[in-house]
Structure 1
Amino acid sequence: MTDDTIIRIAARGDGITADGRHAALSAPGDTLAADGTLTHGPHHQTPPCIHFPTCGGCQLQQLDDQSYAEFVTDRIASALDGQGITTMIREPHISPPRTRRRATLHAEAKGGRMTLGFAEEKSHAIVDIKECWILDPRLFALVAPLRVLLRKLNFKRRGDVHLTLADQGPDILITGFAPEGLPAAEALVAFCEAHKIARVAFNDGMGPETLWEPDACTITLGGVPVPLPPASFLQATVDGEAALTTAVLDAIGKPATVADLFAGLGTFTMAIPAKVYAAEAGRDALGSLKAGANAARRPVFPEHRDLYRRPLTVAELDRFDAVVLDPPRSGAREQAVALAACKTPVIAYVSCNPATFARDAKDLCDAGWQIDWIQPVGQFRWSTHVELAAKFTRPSPQ
């Protein structure tokens, strides 16, 4: 290997040579000449999508499967290394192409044309997508019909189109706009009937208003149908959710009582075969979790609680046999202080940001915890976004 060889892909997606130079759209094994010319190596594949690299939906389509999986693992290892932490990192789970069940597209009416797609990389310009290698085909099939629908609804501005696959079919929330008049209502009904839409809601700034929902929209989590508020957070792919859930259950074993912190709709709550205390700050999400658990008669005890302003205390945490947490990208620094001092035997930490995870892990490890293993999950295929699940325990006294 020479100094001009790309040896790894950095967190933002650019390749780094052995001598420290950076090259965009490169892959491990490529060579970077002094004049910036890039020669492709064995791990550089032809990007499958015609919109790459203009479209910001993907950043790493030039990587083959092996190098992309290595990138996912390296993102976590590098974050841990920055905090002086080493541990076992399992083989990553990578979601296949065309499996994303939720996405936000941008729409813009300009010059008599309706544009619908992802934003360009580092730009507000919209790529009018003609194909997509990450979206579930059932969602991508709606892109062209949605362009037609938005024109019929007299959409004349810029807004977002949130797409989600619910149990009943596609769920759509359009923001920044609300249709008016009988022709718009008729066009909307025809669209929904033709494409078997589960729900359509609009939010022009006053909150979502549902205009089509023949049957109550749900998402099944842990075998339990849970009411699905418009544009709710879900794990990006079904297989990614399954990989994270399997890791969480593996980590906690068979406890009698569990605290699920940042519980959301109940992704992990519903899968845990124990008494579960579920803390969540979002009222809509918590209401859905509660309704699903009650209907299924699950022993779930939900609480509306902002864990940034009011984290569980050490005394509260000590009541549980295991703790599961899945915080937002900012991590769980406020909660980590009490977790570090608690006597709970095991913690399963799910994260969508290796950097904040490593920061919180450092606090736990400094207090005597150890990371038994980390399971990387790459749900956002060909992006720099990486998720993980980790098991923390306290070493037995010698």
Structure 2
Amino acid sequence: MSDPDLIVRIAARGDGVTADGRHVAGSAPGDRLLVDGTLIKGPDHVAPVCRHFPECGGCQLQHLSDGAYADYVRSRVAGALAGQGVSAGDVPLAYVSPPRSRRRASLRALRLGKRVQVGFSAQGSHRMVDLAQCEVLEPRLFALVAPLRSLFARHLRDRQPATVDMALVDQGVDLVLSGLAVDGLAVTEALLDFARENKLARLLLDDGDAPMTLWEPDPVTVRFGEVAVGFPPRAFLQATRDGEAALVAAVRGAIGDARMVADLFAGLGTFALSLANDVPGRKLYAAEAARDLVLALQAGGNRLPGRVFPEHRDLFRRPLTPKELDRFDAVILDPPRAGAREQVLQLAAAQVPVIAYVSCNPASFARDAATLIESGYVLEQARPVGQFRWSTHVELVGTFRR
């Protein structure tokens, strides 16, 4: 009989769960909850590496050992599938990105008199944690926190909130600032000096309309495979380079030597451009609803003549039909968090031999997986990936075959 006071797993939102079903915040598997509420730490309960944990909302699980955290990522996937009655042939060990590897982030800023705060929101609160340390951001991103604090101290109005969207691109750091009032030449010159001194790839200001570029010495690009693609402001990127590589590798293993491939919800071409040259004669159709992403993908695809064929298409309103889908040897599916119910229903009625489903939400993935399995697909593997280290955010690649 199991010990009812032993923490046996971590729930989806990060609480530990005892053998008899009680939720205990801040606990780890192997911890023991005493009658008086005291928590006796087990071997997988470790000291957090950041001074801001657990207050900062950027991390929820720094108190877990590396092994316990990898187990949590895997269990999120396995648990979501079990909840839908879905069986996967294999749910392998999770790939987890290392510390200080996050290449994009959205931070908040607020000036309160002479004090300026820049950081993430506190857990479950709108209150801000002023970052003095961050163990998830890539060092080049974190290095901008102090200079931004100084910039906002001079040019952000008192009690005026601002946001900072940052991403690592081929040329360095791409920065979008919202909330700054540029009401004179002096402010503009200060921003240009800031961009120059911090060697930014690009600096944009967003006043509620389209972001305005203030600084961009060279065209900003990101690279997928051998192709550099123009990077629209705030465009989606996988959270870490290594996590992206793990997802691409899993998709590559799923589709094998398929020659006619559809990449649905293609974005900037993370998969289409990375996989286009794998097989001689491969052709990749890429559908994406965001016009700026399609235009960037089109320009990138032009460097692979006859390989990549983008289309501006809203797959929620106009999913590919079975007749269209049956032209392909493989389909790559990478939808938003809500999943791709409309497109999955069409896939269930089609005869595509293999589907590589990339998901950032195990729950919506499991729901869509149940639909595909009911139509005759087999879920061979669900590969967990933890790009958002120490968080409850989990990704995966599912391989379905007819």
TM-score range, shorter chain: over 0.9
- Aligned match for 1:243, one of 246, 252, 255: 246
Give 1:296 deviation, angstroms.
Answer: 4.2
TM-score by length of 2: 0.96
Measure, in 2, the Cα distance between the counterparts of 1:236 and 1:72.
Answer: 16
Between stretches 176-185 and 120-129, larger displacement belongs to 176-185
Any conservation in 2 of the 1:178–1:203 contact (CA below 8 Å)? no
Measure, in 2, the Cα distance between the counterparts of 1:342 and 1:153.
Answer: 57
Q: 3-state SS of the aligned residue for 2:53?
A: coil
- Aligned match for 1:385, one of 381, 385, 393: 393
Give 1:178 deviation, angstroms.
Answer: 4.2
Residue 191 (str. 1) matches residue 194 (str. 2): yes
> Where does residue 26 of structure 1 map in the other structure?
27
> Where does residue 110 of structure 1 map in the other structure?
112
TM-score by length of 1: 0.97
Give the letter for the 2:205 counterpart: F
Give the letter for the 1:67 counterpart: A
Give 1:198 deviation, angstroms.
Answer: 0.2
Residue 100 (str. 1) matches residue 108 (str. 2): no
Measure, in 1, the Cα distance between the counterparts of 2:306 and 2:109.
Answer: 41
Any conservation in 1 of the 2:155–2:180 contact (CA below 8 Å)? no
Any conservation in 1 of the 2:265–2:334 contact (CA below 8 Å)? yes
Measure, in 1, the Cα distance between the counterparts of 2:155 and 2:66.
Answer: 42
> Where does residue 279 of structure 2 map in the other structure?
none
Where structure 1 has 5 or more consecutive residues not aligned to the other structure, the ranges are none
Give the letter for the 1:102 counterpart: R
> Where does residue 348 of structure 1 map in the other structure?
356
Any conservation in 2 of the 1:178–1:202 contact (CA below 8 Å)? no
Give 1:152 deviation, angstroms.
Answer: 2.8
Give 1:284 deviation, angstroms.
Answer: 1.1
Any conservation in 1 of the 2:114–2:153 contact (CA below 8 Å)? no
> Where does residue 360 of structure 1 map in the other structure?
368
Any conservation in 2 of the 1:8–1:16 contact (CA below 8 Å)? yes
Measure, in 2, the Cα distance between the counterparts of 1:340 and 1:295.
Answer: 34
Measure, in 2, the Cα distance between the counterparts of 1:165 and 1:136.
Answer: 9
Give the letter for the 1:42 counterpart: P
Alpha carbon RMSD of aligned pairs, Å? 1.1
Q: 3-state SS of the aligned residue for 1:163?
A: strand
Measure, in 1, the Cα distance between the counterparts of 2:154 and 2:383.
Answer: 47
Measure, in 1, the Cα distance between the counterparts of 2:31 and 2:206.
Answer: 47
Where structure 2 has 5 or more consecutive residues not aligned to the other structure, the ranges are 277-281
Any conservation in 1 of the 2:262–2:284 contact (CA below 8 Å)? yes
Measure, in 2, the Cα distance between the counterparts of 1:283 and 1:12.
Answer: 34
Give 1:166 deviation, angstroms.
Answer: 0.5
Give 1:264 deviation, angstroms.
Answer: 0.3
> Where does residue 169 of structure 1 map in the other structure?
172
Residue 315 (str. 1) matches residue 323 (str. 2): yes
Equivalent pairs, count: 394
Measure, in 2, the Cα distance between the counterparts of 1:63 and 1:299.
Answer: 45
Q: 3-state SS of the aligned residue for 1:347?
A: strand
Between stretches 168-177 and 310-319, larger displacement belongs to 168-177
> Where does residue 306 of structure 1 map in the other structure?
314
Residue 280 (str. 1) matches residue 281 (str. 2): no
Q: 3-state SS of the aligned residue for 1:219?
A: strand
Give 1:364 deviation, angstroms.
Answer: 0.3
Between stretches 306-315 and 170-179, larger displacement belongs to 170-179
1:1-398 matched pairs, under 5 angstroms: 1-87=2-88, 88-156=90-158, 157-273=160-276, 274-297=282-305, 299-394=307-402
Measure, in 1, the Cα distance between the counterparts of 2:148 and 2:305.
Answer: 39
Give 1:298 deviation, angstroms.
Answer: 5.6
Any conservation in 2 of the 1:99–1:136 contact (CA below 8 Å)? yes
Any conservation in 2 of the 1:106–1:161 contact (CA below 8 Å)? yes
Give 1:271 deviation, angstroms.
Answer: 1.4
Any conservation in 2 of the 1:218–1:226 contact (CA below 8 Å)? yes
Deviations along 1:196-231, whole A, 9 cap, x unmatched? 100010111111111000000000012210000111
Give 1:272 deviation, angstroms.
Answer: 1.7
Query: Would the alpha carbon gap of residues 193 and 256 (structure 1) be closer, same or farther in structure 2, given more than 3 Å must change?
Result: same
Give 1:155 deviation, angstroms.
Answer: 4.3
Measure, in 2, the Cα distance between the counterparts of 1:302 and 1:330.
Answer: 23
Give the letter for the 1:29 counterpart: G
Any conservation in 1 of the 2:156–2:181 contact (CA below 8 Å)? no
Deviations along 1:173-209, whole A, 9 cap, x unmatched? 1123342312212211221122110001011111111
Between stretches 291-300 and 53-62, larger displacement belongs to 291-300
Deviations along 1:288-331, whole A, 9 cap, x unmatched? 11111113436211111111111110101001110001000000
Query: Would the alpha carbon gap of residues 298 and 168 (structure 1) be closer, same or farther in structure 2, given more than 3 Å must change?
Result: farther
Give 1:237 deviation, angstroms.
Answer: 0.2
Give me the identity figure in percent: 57
Any conservation in 2 of the 1:171–1:197 contact (CA below 8 Å)? yes
Query: Would the alpha carbon gap of residues 35 and 235 (structure 1) be closer, same or farther in structure 2, given more than 3 Å must change?
Result: same
Deviations along 1:71-105, whole A, 9 cap, x unmatched? 00000011000111121101211000000000000
Between stretches 222-231 and 346-355, larger displacement belongs to 222-231
Measure, in 1, the Cα distance between the counterparts of 2:348 and 2:226.
Answer: 32
Measure, in 1, the Cα distance between the counterparts of 2:194 and 2:178.
Answer: 18
